[in-house]
Structure 1
Amino acid sequence: MKQDLVLRGQGGSYLRSGQVAELAGVNIQTLRYYERRGLIAEPARSPGGHRAYPPETVTLLTVIKAAQRLGFTLEEVAELLDTGRRRHPTPDLRARAQAKIAEVDAKIADLTTIRHALTRVVTAGCDSLTHCTCPDCPLPFADLAGGRTPEETADL
């Protein structure tokens, strides 16, 4: 970090919006959005009116982005940050992480099903969603569009 770009105030060193955004790997619009959502505190202002963020803001933004990569929504991140700000032990993060693991497992199961279906389409040589000419087409889309259920299609 270039020292000549750091704002100095009564409480120590502060960073401008662009510096915080660059160091945290986000854009300035994201930074402002997180302010509006209350994920990060509204910064002090320099004598010239520039936003003056404490250096810890970069760490907080990095934590927020890491939590998002783990699958937490911004609302969930806000709740977890709020719980952490109260500074008392809570099983909340662990419980939410376990719930997130269950969500991930469900998504993996769904993706596995989708992959299996697509593999069957490729193997069968399907050539159309509505008028496939391959024998034993695994795609019942035309039948479903005609109002028949997969069970009715299987009985044909």
Structure 2
Amino acid sequence: MNELSARGRWIRVAATLVFGALLLAGTVAGADDDFPFGPFRMYATGPDPNGDAKDTRVEGVDTSGRTVQLTEGNSGIRRAEIEGQEGAYVSTPSRLAEVAAAYQEHSPGAAPLREVRIVVRWHGIEHARPTGTYRDQVIAAWTRP
């Protein structure tokens, strides 16, 4: 077995000190974007035990008046993509026309959509347990002109 040279030991100690300092600085003053040197708060905090739980969905209304849940299977768009850009859809609901077009492309035999909306279902929670109640809130809607 070969022994580590003095220079090699010095490089390892220096690298350990640099990475340790970055980790400490990120922990004290960092944000999620600084990961892996900052805290990843997404898993470090818990939800309010009496706060409502958010469940987002995208739905459309076709030309026959039928409500269709839009999924990755029938539109090619994942729910996470919609949730990740939720603010953009709320500020510019006309962007939902692209979701209608994606639905038509992935579901060629289906009736065209005349409306697309993002709906948040707020499930009631008390003492960290579901109450069985909910309320729906439409946060963005687009209607075909």
The TM-score normalised by the length of structure 2 is: 0.27
**Bigger RCO (CA 8 Å, 6+ sep):** 2
Q: Which has the larger radius of gyration?
A: 1
- Higher strand content, 1 or 2: 2
With normalisation by structure 1, the TM-score equals: 0.26
